[in-house]
A and B are shown apart, each in its own frame.
Chain A
């Protein structure tokens, strides 16, 4: 009894204050999160992909996952003491580049307060404590294209990729900044390959990218993925 209440006290001290404030509707937030899931995983076993995984996000220091290659801006923000509290996450989701100007997160932002509240409620459910992360599936990425294993296994020729990438760089900025055209640097190679094949097969809909990817061979896509993944 005494021990239990001590433990409870210790836990509540450790648990940040956010745990008490209700935000929005986590179920509705799951739907909103679909927009995030092209890059971010969350849930049991979630891994960092194009973006860092989002388990235990609340209270995490910005750029706080070891081994993930963040933008310089986000690294700087973390070093300057930015911590992902409810307020900061709300501001970041409203317009990422207003809070962190050089972020590589290519996301225009959620303008509606309700959408932000709901998705934050959903995210917070995965932040309580590692043990409490809901049993649910790690929100797997949408599988856009099925590629034969031999295509995924192609080892990209980085030098060829560098030449091919010069064509990408007319629009996409090498440092990953996004002034209206999304960042493509430092993606995991497999995600890059999948995305390009999704354009090539016209499953992803952007006409410029369908055209650009449409004339690249499997080897050329692998070369680009290897080059963009190898930067820095």
Chain B
């Protein structure tokens, strides 16, 4: 009797598992997300929240506190304190049931569908999402490597690098020189270097007004250029010397030990040198074999699936994002499309057309904000721009103040959208 009953129960349970063809192995479908930044935190939160427990979500992120690159320039300018740009993962775990694993992903086995962690752990997945951000291209700036990042910080990943750069700026001698080596396209946050220049100029104007800023830039044109130049001319008159490729800005070399920056053969002795090198997708994307020749990952716009492996979605800065710039806003936007597509594939939830958007605010002086934005749609070939706008030169101070206040609202909004 007891035996029969047990056998009957066992059969019923087995039948249930077999009759759910979506489920690989036993239990709920598994999504593993690598990288807990703008793309990864958002996608983990949306899948966990909207699937209401039907999908098992694991987020792999080495750091316990994520410092946003967005608003890190405002910290450098003195408009934010450091702790205000730090966010933790407690809410994702407790409110939404995401398994947060603080570790590095060190390998992806695309045949076995598993991710290996630095600790040796192995995570199986039905779908894998990679949002690892960027790494730097070797040899992009002669004389610089990550080994030199304490002398010449990049501060293009936020955290201790950001604090280091601020400390170096504060320690500059009176009338000293801050230099930046700006990155070639494509790179994370097109207006970022120029917002940073504005924020450094703001700090120096207030604290070290005879100091100089030197920018060596390999690009002839950059994002929101007329707006930034307007601010540099009116707010920081005579402080910023921008050297484009016509004057050798693409031909640079650095000597970190002697704090020298060589532009087109001419040696400049500088006090701070912020080197923002050329970029590629975060290393794990390359290790997984997903990167194209330019170092970033090609994706299917409607779902953000890798063109190489349909079980892997790639988000954010690591992608070849078509017309979309590499920004936190974009990564967050990618994440929502991917979350919708992944839920559709693993459960029976509805699938909708992909919609993407981006807006990047920059602060150029006290209560003086500017912005640029666009909407996008998925075509077969790429994420294609639909419509856009940009702030104008000569806008009045009330509008610039409103734009700045809006950016504060956006920061509060997107970080709540990422971390709950």
Contacts and interface: CB of A to CB of B under 8 A. Distances in A.
B332 A170 contact: yes
Interface in B377-415: 377, 386-389, 405-414
Interface in B131-169: none
A171 B375 contact: no
A92 to B, nearest CB: 20
Contacts of B50: 162
Interface centre among A159, A170, A173, A210 (most CB of B within 10 A): A170
A15 interface: no
B188 interface: no
Nearest to B387: A211
A198 B283 CA distance: 46
Given A179-B408, A180-B409, A208 B373 contact: yes
A172 B371 CA distance: 17
Interface string B335-373: 010011000000000101001010100000000000101
B271 interface: no
Contact of A163 (B333, B352, B386, B410): B352
Contact of A179 (B329, B333, B357, B413): B413
B355 A171 contact: no
A159 B350 CA distance: 8
A112 interface: no
A10 B374 CA distance: 63
B352 A160 contact: yes
B406 A180 contact: yes
A4 to B, nearest CB: 55
Nearest to A214: B387
A67 to B, nearest CB: 28
A173 B416 contact: yes
B229 interface: no
A170 B389 contact: no
A181 B413 contact: yes
A178 B410 CA distance: 10
Contacts of B46: 166
Contact of B389 (A166, A179, A208): A208
A172 B357 CA distance: 14
A207 interface: yes
A215 B410 contact: no
Contacts of A180: 405-410, 412
A169 interface: yes
A211 B414 contact: no
B375 A215 contact: yes
Given A180-B407, A208-B371, A215-B375, A172 B413 contact: yes
Contact of B410 (A164, A166, A167, A171): A171
Interface string A194-221: 0000000000000110111011000000
Contacts of B352: 160, 163-164
Contact of B357 (A177, A207, A210, A212): A212
B375 A212 contact: yes
Main secondary structure of the interface of B (DSSP, over half): helix
B103 interface: no
Interface residues of A, number: 26
Contacts of A162: 50
Contact of B409 (A159, A169, A181, A215): A181
A205 to B, nearest CB: 11
Contacts of B375: 211-212, 214-215
B286 interface: no
B413 A170 contact: yes
Nearest to A178: B409
Nearest to B410: A171
Interface in A165-194: 166-167, 169-174, 177-182
Contacts of B417: 169-170
Nearest to B352: A163
Nearest to B391: A207
A212 B386 CA distance: 10
B387 A179 contact: no
Contacts of A182: 409
A232 to B, nearest CB: 16
Interface string B215-259: 000000000000000000000000000000000000000000000
A215 B412 contact: no
Interface in A139-176: 159-160, 162-164, 166-167, 169-174
The 8 closest A-B pairs by CB, nearest first: A180-B409, A181-B409, A179-B412, A180-B408, A166-B336, A207-B389, A171-B413, A180-B405
18 contacts: A159-B350, A160-B352, A163-B336, A166-B340, A167-B336, A170-B410, A170-B414, A171-B406, A172-B413, A173-B412, A178-B409, A179-B409, A180-B410, A181-B410, A207-B389, A208-B371, A208-B373, A215-B375
Given A170-B417, A172-B413, A180-B408, 17 more contacts: A162-B50, A163-B336, A166-B339, A167-B357, A170-B329, A170-B332, A170-B357, A170-B414, A173-B412, A178-B409, A180-B405, A207-B373, A208-B359, A211-B388, A215-B375, A215-B377, A215-B387
